[in-house]
Homo-oligomer: A and B are copies of this chain.
Amino acid sequence: MNESRRPLAGAAVLRPELTEAVLDAVLDQLAQGGVGRLSMQQVAQHAGVGKSALYRRWPGKLDMVMEAISRLTVPDGEPEDTGDLEDDIHGMLVLLHRESADPRPAMIIPDLLAETRRSPELAEAFTTRVAAPRRAWARIAFDRAVGRGEIRDEPAEIELALDTLGGVPFWWTTVHRGTATEDESLRRLSAFVVRALR
């Protein structure tokens, strides 16, 4: 909750449903016009709130954008523990794939990455708020597999497996503009990665 993370002296309690409405408006605006054209004013208007409602929640555009994106792309909690790496990987891919039933990330992420080439501040925020937490989340399943003796403890290989699980679905979405299928392509990718690690 924002109110516990950023308590402001004398501030009213922030209404969570308003926060959600604003974050949803941020995603709509990002999908339509990209991060370069997004403004606090425009988001406030779209969400039907005053700009002050935004500034009570975030110091500026960058933090607001990163919170909106991280909610779509970084799951809560830990990946499900099935006791088998291939099944764990498949579960993670299905979870991320279902979340991306929302069509907006496929519009937003390529644009955001393009902008990170022009803005080191945005690049840094994307890494710390989106890419790194998501990677840490997925790494949990690999650490468990190492603990069980299912795969060797070779950090560089595990990094490469994480790159593959991130990069291949991203490639499917952005370059091929295809659709992953839970039973076929995600299952195939899970098996592919586990074979490569053994």
Contact = CB atoms under 8 A, between A and B. Distances in A.
Nearest to A126: B175
A78 to B, nearest CB: 22
A131 B175 contact: yes
Interface stretch (A52-60, A92-100, A164-172): A164-172
Interface string A152-194: 0000110011011011101110111100000000001100110
Contacts of A177: 116, 123, 127
- Which of A123, A170, A188 has the largest number of chain B CB atoms within 10 A? A170
Interface string A119-146: 0000100010001000000000000000
Say how many copies of this protein the assembly contains: 2
A188 B113 contact: no
Nearest to A198: B195
Contacts of A195: 195-196, 198
Contact of A160 (B116, B166, B189): B189
Given A107-B117, A114-B110, A117-B106, A168 B175 contact: no
